[in-house]
Amino acid sequence: MSDPVLALVMLGLFIFVIMIGFPVAFTLMAMGVGFGYYAYFQPNQAFFDNRVFYLLTQNTFTVLNNDALVSIPLFLLMGYVIERANILDKLFYSIQLAARRVPGSLAVATLLTCALFATATGIVGAVVTLMGLLAFPQMIKAGYDVRLASGATCAGGCLGILIPPSIMLIVYAATAGISVVRLYAGALLPGFLLAGLYVVYVIALATLRPDLAPPMPRQEGKVSLVQVIVLLAKSFLPLAILILSVLGAIFFGLATPTEAASVGAFGALCLAAAYRSLTWPGLKEAVYLTARTSAMVCFLFVGSSTFASIFSYLGGEAMIKGFVLGLDLSPLTFMILSQIIIFLLGWPLEWTEIIIIFVPIFLPLLPHFNIDPLFFGILVALNLQTAFLSPPMAMACYYLKGIAPPRITLVQIFNGCYPFLALIVLAMVLVYMFPALTTWLPDLLYG
Amino acid sequence: MIRRFIYGVDLLSRTIGHMFAWCIIILTLGTCWEVFVRYALNDPTSWAFDFSYICYGGVFYMAGAYTLSRGGHVRCDVFYRLLSVRSQGAVDFALYLLFFFPGVIALVVSGWSYGYDSMRIQEVSVNSPAGVPIWPLKMLIPFGAGLLALQGFAELLRCLVCMREGEWPARLHDVEELEHQIIERHAREVAAGAGRTDK
């Protein structure tokens, strides 16, 4: 049965209900069942013989045995264990010593620590608060501009969802039906490009305006080169080896993402034990939080699978496709428009909802505009970095505000994030102009 | 009485969620074992693939009710949090009736026949000759959804208590995300610090 008007009503009602604030996963499920019941209705049929019920169970089971999603809880566990392993402070201290001659050294060290840490965790939040406790007060004490310090902390802390192994990229790959491995390989360079832009910006700013980021006093910087190297080796190498083995195993096709993720989780447990921070309460916390966050992400898949199939059965997908194709956009206009829509959705919504529910609306349109879903996904991932940093709903800024000294206002933090938002847009433009940034590594590794 | 019931359901969801959460450690160790025997001993297991998604499914699906009891399912609270507590309760009450139970109860009922059929024939996975039983995973569908429905009922009662008393009944606390722990600890320290300077 095709009834595009009903599909429109369905989409409209859905957006209305989630804007009121009901948990999205169950809204999707209930609306899928409700509208599906009507769509599949046959007059002389018992109530539960309606096809929608079979569809719901079948779709739920498809999520339960979806092998692309298996690595989500494993990478989550790895991240939660690493977060609790007291690695960050040692890492930050040694990087900061190594970088102490660089202009704006504290902010640079903050960004580098975050970028490195981002390769071990795929989540935001914890990194912002950890760095907010660790690096932020040091920057303020050293006389850094509050805006610069908060911008670097927030922007750096968000790199975790972009740089592989990130949960967001797994979710996108599962939604778009593309290979996680290729997507990881594609996102690696753009991720480091963005981190690099941040670092260059901070160094340039600190050189031009030393008053915003005063250099470290000489007497504090008296550490021999050997000491620095030993410190770096102790804090940096174990983590780097873990990350390289996980990413290396994935990139060189030695292991599937699931296998690499379990080795990563196991390695994280060993690393935490080596740093003497693997405690029973800590492990319980990590395990339970893993279950909760996986449930949050995967139930969205359970809901959206039924919702999406009913929506397209009613002809909603075809209608949107017809409408957009009727606009006769150029690929560039389509790309800009879709990214603006995703950017705007990032204000009220979180990345999980955007990728699982709204990005699939764009996906069927990509072939028409000759856009590679992998390329599109990386632009979306870059774009969603802004969702954490742009007011009014900037989670990273609220986390930092939660732990910063009271005299630092939210407005100062927001202002600090604007230059970094501009850098994200710049990174998106660069990636769009040089698609080789995303395709070079996957093509090199997998042909 | 109502509060005792809510508390009991919270506790049940939490216990089951916690129990199944440990599957993640089993999954980690099992897959590491597979990696070891495959690459080091060149003797891959035949069960690893089915094993991996069964563990994963158990972890996330059975944590659904636990996540609901902790208010952990993603929702867009831009407008919701502007409402007064009483209206939050009323809005949630209506939305639970309209947009929670239809989907979840449908899943209980249709999941039951789906899982039962699979159990009756002792269905095994077709992915490998090892014949890993797949019916327990299918049987989880009605049970997980049933637990979810029970937790949803407790949430409904929560809304009623909230509408009557103008205050949300407390939730059962267990573990918190690190960022919330840090922010809370910081808030306590600031409060303690402010208390000292007042004296």
Q: Is the pLDDT confidence value at B88 over 50?
A: yes
B chain contacts of residue A48, beta-carbon cutoff 8 Å: 109-110
* Cα separation values, A169 from A51, A176, A325, B111, Å: 33, 10, 28, 30
Q: How far is B1 from chain A (nearest CA, A)?
A: 27
Q: If contacts are CB pairs under 8 Å, which of residues 305-324 in chain A contact chain B? A: 306
Give the pLDDT band of residue A236 (cuts 50, 70, 90).
Answer: confident
Reported as a single tens digit per residue, the pLDDT across A393-445 is 788 888 888 888 888 888 889 999 999 999 999 999 999 999 888 888 888 88
Distance CA A197, CA A123 (A): 21
Reported as a single tens digit per residue, the pLDDT across B114-171 is 888 888 888 887 777 777 888 888 888 889 999 999 999 998 988 888 888 888 887 7
Interchain pair A53, B57: CB under 8 A: no
Query: CB-CB: which of B17, B24, B95 is closest to A22?
Result: B95
Q: If contacts are CB pairs under 8 Å, which of residues 20-39 in chain A contact chain B? A: 20-34
Q: Which residue of B has its CA nearest to A254?
A: B39
Q: pLDDT value at position A219?
A: 54
Q: If contacts are CB pairs under 8 Å, which of residues 59-88 in chain A contact chain B? A: 60-61, 64-67, 69-70, 72-74, 77, 80, 83-84
Q: If we measure between CA atoms, which residue out of A19, A375, A314, A1 comes closest to residue A172?
A: A375
Q: How far is B160 from chain A (nearest CA, A)?
A: 16
Helix locations, A223-256, DSSP H: 225-251
Reported as a single tens digit per residue, the pLDDT across B96-129 is 888 889 888 988 988 888 888 888 888 887 777 7
* Cα separation values, A117 from A75, A109, B63, Å: 13, 12, 28
Give the pLDDT band of residue B199 (cuts 50, 70, 90).
Answer: very low
Q: pLDDT value at position A221?
A: 54
Q: pLDDT value at position A150?
A: 92
Helix locations, chain B, DSSP H: 2-21, 23-39, 48-62, 64-69, 85-99, 101-120, 135-165, 178-198
Q: How far is B40 from chain A (nearest CA, A)?
A: 12
Q: Is the pLDDT confidence value at A200 over 90?
A: yes
**From the candidates A35, A49, A294, which should be mutated to test the interface with B, based on the most B CB atoms within 10 A?**
A294
B chain contacts of residue A64, beta-carbon cutoff 8 Å: 53, 57, 61, 137, 140-141
Interchain pair A26, B73: CB under 8 A: yes
Q: State the greatest distance between any 2 C-alpha atoms of chain A, in Å, as a whole number.
A: 88
- Stretch among A117-126, A244-253, B22-31 having the lowest mean pLDDT: A117-126
**From the candidates B49, B50, B80, B99, which should be mutated to test the interface with A, based on the most A CB atoms within 10 A?**
B99
Average per-residue pLDDT in chain A? 86
Give the pLDDT band of residue A320 (cuts 50, 70, 90).
Answer: confident
Q: Is the pLDDT confidence value at A49 over 80?
A: no
Q: How much is the average pLDDT of A288-309?
A: 88
The amino acid at residue A204 is A
Query: CB-CB: which of B98, B114, B179 is closest to A57?
Result: B114
Query: CB-CB: which of A30, A289, A306 is closest to B177?
Result: A289
Q: How much is the average pLDDT of A197-203?
A: 93
Give the pLDDT band of residue A380 (cuts 50, 70, 90).
Answer: very high
Give the pLDDT band of residue B195 (cuts 50, 70, 90).
Answer: low
Q: Is the pLDDT confidence value at A50 over 50?
A: yes
Reported as a single tens digit per residue, the pLDDT across A142-159 is 889 999 999 999 999 888
Interchain pair B178, A266: CB under 8 A: no
B chain contacts of residue A125, beta-carbon cutoff 8 Å: 177-179
Q: pLDDT value at position A119?
A: 80
Helices (H) then strands (E): counts for chain A: 21, 0
Reported as a single tens digit per residue, the pLDDT across A56-79 is 888 888 888 888 888 889 988 988
Reported as a single tens digit per residue, the pLDDT across A168-196 is 999 999 999 898 888 988 998 999 999 99
Query: CB-CB: which of A33, A74, A263 is closest to B103?
Result: A33
Query: CB-CB: which of A22, A54, A265 is closest to B75?
Result: A22
**From the candidates B28, B101, B105, B123, which should be mutated to test the interface with A, based on the most A CB atoms within 10 A?**
B28
Can you read off the two tokens belonging to residue A16?
A: 């209305």
Interchain pair A288, B18: CB under 8 A: yes
Q: How much is the average pLDDT of A236-257?
A: 83
- Dihedral of the alpha carbons of A407, A410, A415, A418, in degrees to the nearest 10: 140
* Cα separation values, A52 from A4, A33, A300, Å: 18, 6, 18
Rounded-to-5 percentages of helix, strand, coil across chain A:
80, 0, 20
Reported as a single tens digit per residue, the pLDDT across A159-175 is 888 888 888 999 999 99
The amino acid at residue A119 is T
- Stretch among A118-122, A171-175, A230-234 having the lowest mean pLDDT: A118-122
DSSP character at residue A214: P
- The pTM of the full predicted model, rounded to 2 decimals, is 0.89
Q: How large a percentage of chain A has pLDDT more than 70?
A: 98
Half-sphere exposure of B105 (CA within 13 A, CB side): 11
- Stretch among A373-387, B4-18, B182-196 having the lowest mean pLDDT: B182-196
Q: Which residue of B has its CA nearest to A14?
A: B99
Query: CB-CB: which of A17, A64, A72 is closest to B95?
Result: A17
Reported as a single tens digit per residue, the pLDDT across A11-40 is 889 988 888 888 888 999 898 888 888 888
Helix (H, G, I), strand (E, B) or coil at B122: coil
Q: How far is A298 from chain B (nearest CA, A)?
A: 7
Q: If we measure between CA atoms, which residue out of B139, B159, B4 comes closest to residue B71?
A: B159
Q: Which residue of A has its CA nearest to B13?
A: A292
Q: How much is the average pLDDT of B78-107?
A: 87
Give the pLDDT band of residue B198 (cuts 50, 70, 90).
Answer: very low
Can you read off the two tokens belonging to residue A183?
A: 């997507």
